[in-house]
């Protein structure tokens, strides 16, 4: 029986690592990205190596026509078994008024509207087969309110809440839901940052690779099917401690870390 996985943002990093793993498991793939040459090369390699079908959609996920193109492709694919809502970007957001409002809207579309629309499109197909997996890639930042990531953190926190609720809603229907919350991961994600800001982040030694993050995500799915999956011991520790810290203490620490 054929099975298809759709992965948004599969050009590089975490999305590309999922694509490699699912291709090796025999899934046909629908991959989205914008850097055409890079994603097409990955698609050709995976199709050739694993004898699977790989469709590439070059889509800007804040553009309504492109979003519709993706939704149409997904709804016309009957054997849809895995959805990975992974596409996302780093806004180099220093404070709330530091972003143009059109970029705020773009981020809300890419990080919130698109994942919800895609889930809405695939769930009926998964329900019919009584089988499916939805992974929403959030961030460890979803647990860490910060004056430096007002919009990014809020959109990722939405994904966490959405996923946990969806997990409960769909658990009797054979559909697994995971929210993956990675910490710092070496990918192309930070490539747009000014050198000075990148150096500041880079000096942090708790980085993971995209392969490690995806390995952990797939392990979480197999092991316990709990919705929240946090790769990395330090990230798990923070996410457990922060909700129980008195707020006033947390805000002081977060402001200090942000250099505010
Ligand atoms: N890297 C980290 O430290 C880190 C930490 C926590 C969470 N995350 C999350 O992990 C996810 C994957 O990021 P990554 O680290 O693997 O970064 P990445 O290597 O930069 O990959 C991001 C992917 O998203 C696509 N994308 C970004 N904005 C898009 C848009 N407006 N329209 C369409 N596609 C878009 C990119 O497409 P093109 O490159 O082809 O344009 C690329 O395929 C993101 O949701 C990110 O928020 C990353």
Sketch the domain layout of the chain as residue ranges. 4-257
pTM of the entire structure? Answer: 0.96
pLDDT digits (tens, 9 = 90+) for 118-175: 999 999 999 999 999 999 999 999 999 999 899 999 999 999 999 999 999 999 999 9
What is the DSSP annotation of 172-230? GGTEEEEEE---SEESSTTTTS-HHHHHHHHT----EEHHHHHHHHHHHHHHT--SEE-
Q: What is the pLDDT of residues 186-244, one digit of tens each?
A: 999 988 777 777 777 777 668 999 999 999 999 999 986 789 999 999 999 999 999 89
Q: How many A from CA of 151 to the centre of ligand 1?
A: 16
Q: How far is the CA of 86 from the centre of ligand 1 (A)?
A: 7
Instruction: Convert the pLDDT of each residue in 34-53 to its tens digit.
Output: 999 999 999 999 999 999 99
Please indicate whether residue 152 is annotated as part of the active site: yes
Structural tokens at position 131: 């089988």
Measured from CB, residues less than 6 Å from any atom of ligand 1 are 9-15, 33-35, 59-62, 86-89, 110, 137, 139, 182, 184-185, 187-189, 210
Domain 4-257 in CATH: superfamily?
NAD(P)-binding Rossmann-like Domain (3.40.50.720)
Tokens, residue 66: 């492109």
The continuous run of DSSP H or E covering 58 comes out as: strand 54-58
192 contact partners, CB below 8 Å, separation of at least 6:
89, 90, 92
Give the pLDDT score at 66: 98
pLDDT confidence band for 11 (50 / 70 / 90): very high
């Amino acid at each position: 029986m054929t099975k298809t996985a759709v992965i948004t943002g599969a050009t590089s990093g975490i999305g590309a690592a999922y694509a490699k793993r699912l291709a090796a498991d025999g899934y046909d793939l629908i991959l989205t990205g914008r850097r055409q040459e890079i994603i097409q090369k990955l698609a050709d390699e995976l199709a050739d190596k694993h004898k699977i079908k790989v469709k590439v959609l070059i889509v800007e996920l804040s553009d309504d026509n492109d979003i519709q193109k993706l939704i149409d492709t997904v709804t016309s694919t009957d054997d849809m078994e895995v959805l990975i809502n992974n596409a996302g970007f780093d806004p180099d957001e220093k404070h709330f008024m530091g972003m143009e409002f059109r970029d705020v809207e773009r981020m809300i579309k890419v990080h919130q509207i698109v994942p919800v629309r895609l889930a809405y499109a695939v769930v009926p197909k998964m329900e019919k087969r009584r089988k499916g997996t939805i992974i929403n890639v959030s961030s460890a930042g979803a647990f860490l309110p910060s004056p430096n990531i007002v919009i990014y953190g809020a959109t990722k926190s939405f994904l966490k809440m959405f996923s946990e609720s969806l997990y409960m809603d769909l658990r009797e229907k054979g559909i697994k839901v995971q929210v993956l919350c990675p910490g710092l991961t070496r990918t192309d994600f930070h490539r747009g940052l000014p050198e000075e800001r990148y150096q500041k982040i880079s000096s942090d030694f708790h980085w993971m690779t995209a392969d490690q993050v995806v390995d952990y995500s797939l392990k979480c799915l197999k092991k316990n099917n709990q919705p929240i999956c946090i790769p990395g011991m330090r990230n798990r520790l923070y996410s457990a401690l922060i909700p129980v810290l008195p707020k006033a203490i947390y805000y002081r620490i977060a402001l200090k870390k942000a250099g505010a």
